[in-house]
Chain A
Amino acid sequence: MRSVTSTLLQRGNTMLDEMTNTRSMDREVVAFRVAGQDFCIDIMSVREIRGWTETTILPHAQRYVKGVINLRGSVVPVVDLSERLGLGQIEPGPRHVIIITVIGSQTVGLLAEVVSDILTVNDNTMQPVPEIASESARAYISGVVVAEEKMIRKIDLARVLPTSGKEAA
């Protein structure tokens, strides 16, 4: 009886490994530029990409919160990634884009200079953030991957989002 169970368990684990492996092998990411640097986020958390529209300014907000926009009836805050990462504020213009991302139940737009590509990256090639990077950059970056001769930083979305207005106020 026990041997049967353990065999089943083993088989289950192997299957699970295979499944996670295949998924991690081919992860698609959206790559974009902010303040001259390349970043990426998992494509599964991107809902859409739209051009810059004027935001409605939120009082008492952190500097990196550009305001809110109307996304088909919902109120969505826009985060200036450059400011959030400590790379200076973006003066947004018509060429800038807003990447609408969804994390959990929260929808947030990320302000970027340009979306460059959709890349397939292998999780095994993902490297930890070099120790020399600044503290603020490391806080929001979960890893680094080299693709097409560029170093692309993977953003830890959950940390970039404004967690609550209270924190921001």
Chain B
Amino acid sequence: MSLVISDDFRDSFFQECEDLLEAMNDGFRLMADDQHEMETVHAVFRAVHSIKGGAGAFGLDALVDFAHHFETALDKLRSGKLELDDDVMSLFQRCGDHLADLVVAARDGAEPAADVSAQLHTDLEEIIGTPRDEGTEAPDFMPLGLDMDLSLPSMSLPGQRSFVIEFEAFPELFRSGNEPALLFRTLSRLGTLSVEAETDKIPALDALDGAQPHVTWRLTLETESSEGEIAEVFEFVEGLCRLEITEMDAPELPIEAGPLPTLEELTGGAPTLEEIVETEDAPAKTARAAKPGAAKPENASKAAGATIRVDLERVDKLINLVGELVIKEAMLSQSINQMGLPSESDVSVGLESLKQLAGEIQEGVMAIRAQPVKPMFQRMSRIVREAGTATGKRVRLITQGEHTEVDKTVIERLVDPLTHMIRNAVDHGLETPEDRRAAGKPEEGTVILSAAHRSGRVMIDISDDGAGINRPKVRKLAEEKGLISPDAELSPAEIDNLLFLPGFSSKDEVSALSGRGVGLDVARSEVQALGGRVSITSTPGEGTTFSISLPLTLAVLEGMVFDVAGQTMVVPITAIQETLQPKTAEIQPIGQDGRVVVNRDKLVPIVDLGEVFGFRRAPESLDNHVLLLVETDNNRRCALIVDGIQDQRQVVIKSLESNYGHVQGIAAATILGDGRIALIIDPDGIIRDAGGHAVGDFHFAATG
């Protein structure tokens, strides 16, 4: 069999590695929470083992070597020879992180970090006691090639038990690249094994189906091991074979086994394992040739066929097409409306159901892009560990709602800001263990990362149980840096929001971890670029919570359609707090041409959208206009003058950037029912823009 493995297989190996690493991390988390069962340890072991196996097939030696040592230690754990304490757990997690690094290095063809491997290897050896002899156990999965060595010990010792194992392989077993001979070899290490092949079922040559296994085996094993240990040998082929293990009670089962000495004779008489392997070789090879790509041990418990991998481009194309469909549908219904048909006419009824279908298709297609946040959360647990080590704090990350689904692009672009905020929570949020003890808290700090759907948006919260924001200190720092004037009156929430000012770092000394000059302002602007908002709540002594609110998708948004200076525009509904009639609202002039409106006992600056965009001069009288009260992240509010509100509806987001570029104050474009383009405004950008004058009187003048 040729070992030239195409890139396709290589890719699918690395994709599978991602899944396996996820399973491993899942297991580790359960173990760290002390909620694991033996099966969890097995699952972690299987994951590492499968990575090793696959890596062996691709000749990724560094990966194989490290996975092997890791697996050895895990094996000790699952056989109960190693106690799982905090140190072991932390080492295993570091090993898991490094394994992930090695996988990435192997995928990108980068140089693996050999020194880290060596260090962890030494640590692992320390934990499991005596270093293992390197030579004795090469990775036990190889693409193919058997060198059987069946020097079975022929002494039957007292205390040994006898088992009869009936084993019948299903075709799937061969298809997933498993090999009975290897299983038997492993079994033979447990004790004295004799193998008997039942060849009765093999049909005549002309009726032989090469893909169907016809041989069943009957194995007799004398061993000190328990039934569980025997079953473990077969754990990778679980569900792929029929397996019956029965313990033989010498007197009661005389027909099969007889007294122990007889067994020895049986062993001599039975065909040797090599012979059987020879017999079985032909069908096995056929089966393997049918699907060479599966030449790695599959995790049998994984439900095959439940998911498919699709090229992202195809999905995006589909999303674009569905977007067109929705627009076309809107255009059609608009022209039909103009024909003045009665609403119960066939055309109108048909159109209505078409509209519904189009909406459902759109939702369905969007759902394809939606991904659970779980992998991202798992990456964060690593960030927490590293941050904890770097700061000398003991931190525990609790994740909640990790099955919450968000658009793939949102997830990808959220990694950086989230990483920053997590580091921030560990570095700045949590106190040192000494301070925590003094405050009567457990030494181990907790960071909770949670995700949930809330009213059409995704909320991601990062909470720590630290000391909370030290508001007097924050205020003092902001004054020292000239970010606020000393006599400014700030509410607690406003002080908290100072953390988001560019160039603000609240730690006394810039730490290597999170105080690198790029502060939370960068994280926040990254979230804003996704159409998200960040808010902050803090209770002294109890902790701080950063909340990120994100749109579910980047493809559609719920918007309010309005007119200004003859142009039709859209504002995201999430930004709108309320709409006001200037006639009834209390409007006060401020300065030369500034105006404010009184709303809920607060002064809100008024900005004319027409003027901001250079369409017109701001109107003298607002009587025939409407005010849209919009709010941005740091609770800045602003009333936008528009000429009239048309409608509230879902709009498909179209990029302006691809053919033109970014426009200040504009987030994107959309296509209206009449086929015209409407611009979607970016309230944050407008408020920043207008910051020069109208909003300038606000507290955060320095944010500009």
Q: Which residues 349-390 in B have Cβ within 8 Å of A in the complex? A: none
Cβ proximity bits B661-676 to A, threshold 8 Å, 1 near / 0 not:
1111110010100011
Q: Residue A59 contacts which of B657, B658, B665, B676 (CB distance < 8 angstroms)?
A: B665
* A169 near B659: Cβ-Cβ < 8 Å: no
Q: Residue B656 contacts which of A57, A108, A165, A167 (CB distance < 8 angstroms)?
A: A165
| Interface pick from B104-112, B217-225, B320-328, B629-637 | B320-328
Smallest Cβ distance from A108 to chain B, in angstroms?
A: 6
Which residues of chain B have C-beta atoms less than 8 A from A168's C-beta?
660-661
Q: A5 in the interface, Cβ–Cβ < 8 Å?
A: no
Q: A35 in the interface, Cβ–Cβ < 8 Å?
A: no
* B659 near A108: Cβ-Cβ < 8 Å: yes
Which residues of chain B have C-beta atoms less than 8 A from A162's C-beta?
660-661
Q: B678 in the interface, Cβ–Cβ < 8 Å?
A: yes
Cβ proximity bits B494-505 to A, threshold 8 Å, 1 near / 0 not:
000000000000
* A58 near B654: Cβ-Cβ < 8 Å: no
* A68 near B661: Cβ-Cβ < 8 Å: no
Which residues of chain A have C-beta atoms less than 8 A from B676's C-beta?
54, 56, 70
Which residues of chain A have C-beta atoms less than 8 A from B615's C-beta?
57, 59
Most buried by A among B320, B613, B660: B660
Instruction: Report Cα–Cα, A69/B657, bound state, in Å.
Output: 14
Q: A61 in the interface, Cβ–Cβ < 8 Å?
A: yes
* B654 near A74: Cβ-Cβ < 8 Å: yes
Q: A115 in the interface, Cβ–Cβ < 8 Å?
A: no
Given A56-B567, A56-B678, A58-B679, is A75 in contact with B669 using a C-beta cutoff of 8 Å? Answer: yes
Which residues of chain A have C-beta atoms less than 8 A from B666's C-beta?
58-59
Task: Name the residue on B nearest A163 (C-beta).
Answer: B661
Most buried by A among B663, B677, B678, B679: B677
Q: A134 in the interface, Cβ–Cβ < 8 Å?
A: no
Q: Which residues 121-169 in A have Cβ within 8 Å of B in the complex? A: 162-169
* A59 near B614: Cβ-Cβ < 8 Å: yes
Which residues of chain B have C-beta atoms less than 8 A from A55's C-beta?
677
Q: Which residues 33-61 in A have Cβ within 8 Å of B in the complex? A: 54-61
A-B contact count (CB 8 A): 88
Instruction: Report Cα–Cα, A166/B320, bound state, in Å.
Output: 26
Task: Name the residue on B nearest A165 (C-beta).
Answer: B661
Which residues of chain A have C-beta atoms less than 8 A from B320's C-beta?
73
* A73 near B661: Cβ-Cβ < 8 Å: no
Task: Name the residue on A nearest B325 (C-beta).
Answer: A73
Cβ proximity bits B598-618 to A, threshold 8 Å, 1 near / 0 not:
000000000000001111000
Q: A72 in the interface, Cβ–Cβ < 8 Å?
A: yes
* A70 near B567: Cβ-Cβ < 8 Å: no
Q: Which residues 83-121 in A have Cβ within 8 Å of B in the complex? A: 105-108
Q: Residue A70 contacts which of B655, B657, B675 (CB distance < 8 angstroms)?
A: B675
Task: Name the residue on A nearest B614 (C-beta).
Answer: A59
* A61 near B654: Cβ-Cβ < 8 Å: no
Q: Which residues 674-694 in B have Cβ within 8 Å of A in the complex? A: 675-679
Which residues of chain A have C-beta atoms less than 8 A from B662's C-beta?
164-166, 169
Chain B contact-residue range equals: 20 to 34
Q: Residue B663 contacts which of A107, A108, A165 (CB distance < 8 angstroms)?
A: A165
* B324 near A75: Cβ-Cβ < 8 Å: no
* A68 near B613: Cβ-Cβ < 8 Å: no
Which residues of chain B have C-beta atoms less than 8 A from A107's C-beta?
659
Which residues of chain B have C-beta atoms less than 8 A from A77's C-beta?
659-660
Task: Name the residue on A nearest B670 (C-beta).
Answer: A75
Instruction: Report Cα–Cα, A57/B660, bound state, in Å.
Output: 13
Task: Name the residue on A nearest B567 (C-beta).
Answer: A57
Task: Name the residue on A nearest B668 (C-beta).
Answer: A75
* B660 near A59: Cβ-Cβ < 8 Å: no
* B658 near A60: Cβ-Cβ < 8 Å: no
Instruction: Report Cα–Cα, A131/B143, bound state, in Å.
Output: 73
Task: Name the residue on B nearest A58 (C-beta).
Answer: B663
Smallest Cβ distance from B248 to chain A, in angstroms?
A: 73
Which residues of chain B have C-beta atoms less than 8 A from A59's C-beta?
612-615, 663-666, 679
Which residues of chain B have C-beta atoms less than 8 A from A68's C-beta?
656, 660, 669, 677
Which residues of chain A have C-beta atoms less than 8 A from B664's C-beta?
59-60, 169
* B663 near A76: Cβ-Cβ < 8 Å: no
Q: Residue B660 contacts which of A58, A70, A73 (CB distance < 8 angstroms)?
A: A58
* B677 near A60: Cβ-Cβ < 8 Å: no
Instruction: Report Cα–Cα, A115/B671, bound state, in Å.
Output: 28
Smallest Cβ distance from B642 to chain A, in angstroms?
A: 14
Given A56-B567, A57-B567, is A75 in contact with B327 using a C-beta cutoff of 8 Å? Answer: no
Task: Name the residue on B nearest A109 (C-beta).
Answer: B659
* A75 near B656: Cβ-Cβ < 8 Å: yes
Instruction: Report Cα–Cα, A148/B669, bound state, in Å.
Output: 43
- 17 A-B pairs besides A106-B658, A165-B660 with CB distance below 8 A are A55-B677, A59-B615, A60-B614, A60-B663, A60-B664, A73-B323, A73-B671, A75-B655, A75-B656, A75-B669, A75-B677, A105-B658, A106-B659, A162-B660, A166-B662, A168-B661, A169-B664
The 9 closest A-B pairs by CB, nearest first: A165-B661, A59-B613, A164-B661, A56-B677, A73-B324, A77-B660, A75-B669, A165-B662, A165-B663
Q: List 24 A-B contacts (CB under 8 A).
A: A56-B669, A57-B567, A58-B656, A59-B612, A59-B613, A59-B614, A59-B615, A59-B666, A59-B679, A60-B663, A60-B665, A65-B660, A68-B656, A68-B677, A70-B675, A70-B677, A73-B323, A74-B659, A75-B655, A164-B661, A165-B656, A165-B663, A167-B661, A168-B661
